[in-house]
Amino acid sequence: MNQANEVRRWGRTLLLAAILPLAGCATGPNANPRDPFEPFNRGVSDFNENIDAVVLKPSATFYREKVPPLVRTGVSNFFSNLGDAWSAVNAALQLKLGHAAENWMRFSFNTVFGFAGVLDIASEMNIERHREDFGQTLGHWGVPAGPYVVLPLLGPSTLRDSIALPVDWQGDPLTHINPEVTRDGLYVLRVVDVRSNLLRASDVLEGAALDRYSFLRDSYLQRRRADIGPVRIGSDRESENDGREPELESEPNQAPAAPAGLAPAAPAPAPSR
């Protein structure tokens, strides 16, 4: 492993290690049980929004305005196809063998016949995509979500999903692409592609009269719970709560669930034509 990769790996490790002690200082007597680190999380969220306003959103807007829709669709298809390979692995780890087979078939067909995934041949063949990551795998086997956290640059997460991130990074096919300049260029393109697909949703959110932070937090937690679905605890398939993660406690004036695209996480949908 070259020096640049070693620096990147240590940087990611330090990023995750820094979250918990910092967040521990942000708790208070009136802390939300789902979000005990809310003051710290709000600060990180403000930082992320400033980065988005200065760098990400302008780049994504330029990309959407200058790049033809057909090309943008191909870019989104390419990155989604890479995600199908890791989704297949996680589906298998959860013993969802049907989902694992479909994800692997998608990856195989699109890679071979769809020019490395630029064309989504599998969808034309009605092979369904099932998005899975290692955080979902941990949740499926009963690992609790833990407190909600907002990660610098990466956005909404939970303690469980944050711990799963290094595994997801290693499972990301982009991590293993060489030379490094090509890999870094693809990372940047993926970030811009994901942000461009969220432009309309973010504009709607910005124009709404609500607490943006609370809305995104509640939407993310609800979506992750839906993504994980029934969990396995030991050999029992069902628990007292029908095998699912605990319901979010209702709060006064709680914001409704957001569309899945509003909360970062899974690969972005293909851009509208």
Q: What are phi and psi of 64, to 5 degrees?
A: -70, -35
Distance in angstroms (rounded) separating the CA atoms of residues 5 and 15: 15
Contacts of 100 (CB under 8 A, 6+ apart): 88, 89, 91, 92
Q: What are phi and psi of 126, to 5 degrees?
A: 60, 35
Q: If we measure between CA atoms, which residue out of 34, 69, 39, 55 comes closest to residue 222?
A: 34
What is the structure's pLDDT at 205?
84
**How much is the pTM?**
0.77
- Grouping H, G, I as helix, E, B as strand and the rest as coil, residue 32 is strand
Distance in angstroms (rounded) separating the CA atoms of residues 172 and 124: 25
What is the structure's pLDDT at 32?
84
User: Mean pLDDT, 10 residues at a time, over the chain (273 residues)?
Assistant: 51 50 52 91 97 97 97 98 97 97 98 96 96 97 97 97 97 95 97 96 81 94 93 50 47 39 41 42
Distance in angstroms (rounded) separating the CA atoms of residues 94 and 97: 8
- Identify whether the C-beta of residue 64 lies closer than 8 Å to the C-beta of residue 199: yes
- Grouping H, G, I as helix, E, B as strand and the rest as coil, residue 141 is coil
β-bridge partners, 149: 157
